[in-house]
Structure formats: structure tokens, C-alpha cells
Structure 1
Amino acid sequence: MTGIRPRPPAKDLRRPELDELDERIVGILADDGRITNADLAATLDVAPSTAHARMRSLVDRGVITGFHASVDQELLGRGLQAIVGVTLRPGARHDSIVAFADEVRRLPQVLQLFFIGGSDDFLVHIAVEGASDVRQFVVEHLSAQRYVATTRTSIIFEYHRNAVAAPFR
């Protein structure tokens, strides 16, 4: 996420006002984050300075939080993806939630980590080379943690992404 300034602390929790041009810019950038400013301006039928100022305003207001590369995990030798549901043990919940998230989010196999409500506490989205690597990840990095009670693994057959979600704060 180079070139993106950290989002300032939120003082006003209302949604930022977006006009039609802002919404069009967000849609275009969600489809192609690498579009040049000149091409963005031409698509919007506005001056390049207008496109740049409006895009910069969206970044400054925290609407656009970064620009991301979509990576083909299979070409990196990590063609098997899985979602692992994790339930933590009762007791000292806050500490175990924080510790679990801090440890797991740093692992190179982890693409996404979701702290959720429901029967699981977390969903861990991983990409690895093969089935034995899924097993090894679950056994060594999840089940071995003292605060993990259970895990439930689902293999991903197909993956479709419509947008990149911003991190929760």
C-alpha cells in the first residue's frame, strides 16, 4: 500500500458524503487499481486535475484505504486454499482473542483472518501447496495453541472476489 497515508483517528463516525463522481471513481478503482490518472479522467470525462483531486480526497477521507495486487497463489506454488474455523477455549477471552489474532495473522500461509460471531470465533483463510500442508498448518499453528478448543477445515474449490474489503479498525 505505498503512497497511502495512514487513516487519521475517526472523530466523526458518519459515513463520508459521496457524490456521483466519487462513486464512479470508487467503482473504477475497485475494478482496476492501476488505472492511470489520465485514463481515469478520460473514463470520467473530467480534467486530469479533477480526477486526481477527487481520488486524493477519497484517500484523505478514508474511503479508499489502499491499492492491492491480486496474486495468483497457484503460480506461487500455493494452489490449495482452505478456510479453517477456529473456536477458542472459554476463559480469559479477551487475552486469548488478541494473542491468537496476533500470532496467526503473521503466518505466511494466512491470506485473511476474520474475527466473527457465531459458532466459530475466527475464520482463517490460508493458501498452501497441498493437502498435507493444510494438515500441518492446522496441527502446528492452530491446534497446538493453548487457547484453541476446536478447528474445522473446509477446502476451497473455487474462489471469486468482487472487491477487496478494507481492514476493520
Structure 2
Amino acid sequence: MAPSTFPQQPVDLDAVDRRIIQELVNDARISNALLAQRTGIAPSTALLRTRALVERGVLTGYHAEVSLPAVGRSVQALISVRLRVHDRVLIDNFTQKMPQLPEVLSMFHTSGVTDYLLHIAVSSTEALRDWVLDNLATDESVGHTETTLVFGHHKGQGGPIPEEPGQVPAEHRAGTL
């Protein structure tokens, strides 16, 4: 789903939607039968509810997670980028180009002194230096960069999905889940 089609406001989610989302966050490869069992609904309902979450823009995709060292990309870095000028054409070119580069894992548009934060993965510190020189130092829109090596990465959760305001958390309700 393209970012422009993401819901701009929170979507109404009931307890079943939230449980489906949490199960898929935990394991996106879960079978529909097991998803239905874990959420206490019929398999046909689980399938319809999951499809509806996709159509409503709540679930935006499924992916495989790759071990970066296993594919020769053991050096990760976070690169702060400050643009030289804030010209719309240059900004658009930069924001279209960077995420397409195979080394870029994520790109964040940020506030403050840093305009963009890039998370990249390469094979070596020499490759990192060359990447910065080839892709940032020579880019006419880039005024300043600061590179920080990543020594360790601890993935956060895509959930748990917050309860509805005013509800008692599921783990505190008697006889649920």
C-alpha cells in the first residue's frame, strides 16, 4: 500500500481486530486456522476480518526479515542529513532517490537540525565511507552529514495494540483470552 493511502486518522478497532493484529505482529506467517483459534473466532471470520484490516489500511503488508550479516551487510549506520537548501525540486529528488538505493533500510523525515535520518547497511566501513561519498557528499541538495555506526540493534514491537480508552487491559480482565 502506498503511503498516501494510509488512513490519516485512527481507525475504529474492536477487541477482535486488536487481537488479530497482535497475532500477526507476533507471527505474520500464522495460518488462518491458528489465527482463528487464538482469537476465538471462526476461520471464515478470521479471513474476512484480516482482509478488512488490509482494505482499511491498518495492515499494510507482510515481509520476510533478512539477517544482514548473512547477506554480507554486517555494518549498519545511522546517517543524519541536513539539506543545503530547501528547494522543493531538490527535496523531491532526494526523497525519491534515497529509499531506492539498495543499502538504505529506512529513511525518516525529521524535525530539528536534521532533515533526514537514513538507516543503511553495507559490507564494511570502507563501503560505508564510499557510500557516503558517492551518494551524499556529491548530492547537490546535501549540506551536512553525520554518520553514527550501529553496534547493536534491538527490534521493538509493532504492538501490542493499545486498548480502547477507558477499557481494562485484556490481561487484567477475568476469563478473557
Aligned-residue sequence identity (percent) comes to 37
1:87 touches 1:150 (CA, 8 Å); kept in 2? yes
Query: 1:66: Cα distance to partner?
Result: 0.5
Distance in 2 between residues matched to 1:8 and 1:143, nearest whole Å? 30
Distance in 2 between residues matched to 1:8 and 1:89, nearest whole Å? 27
Give 1:143's match in structure 2, choosing from 119, 130, 137: 137
* Number of equivalenced pairs: 159
Q: Any idea what SS the aligned residue of 1:54 has?
A: helix
Alignment of 1:150-169 (within 5 A): 150-163=144-157
Distance in 2 between residues matched to 1:164 and 1:68, nearest whole Å? 13
Residue in structure 2 matched with residue 17 of structure 1 by the alignment = 12
Give 1:117's match in structure 2, choosing from 111, 114, 117: 111
Q: Which runs of 5+ in 1 are unaligned?
A: none
Query: 1:120: Cα distance to partner?
Result: 0.8
Root-mean-square deviation (Å): 2.0
Distance in 2 between residues matched to 1:80 and 1:52, nearest whole Å? 40
Q: Which runs of 5+ in 2 are unaligned?
A: 160-177
TM-score, normalised on structure 1? 0.87
Residue in structure 2 matched with residue 52 of structure 1 by the alignment = 47
2:5 touches 2:57 (CA, 8 Å); kept in 1? no
Q: Any idea what SS the aligned residue of 2:153 has?
A: coil
Code of the residue aligned with 2:110 in structure 1: it is I
1:7 touches 1:60 (CA, 8 Å); kept in 2? no
Code of the residue aligned with 2:66 in structure 1: it is V
TM-score, normalised on structure 2? 0.83
Listed one character per residue, the Cα deviations across residues 21-51 of structure 1 (whole Å, up to 9, x for unaligned) are 1001111111111111011011112110111
Q: Any idea what SS the aligned residue of 2:154 has?
A: coil
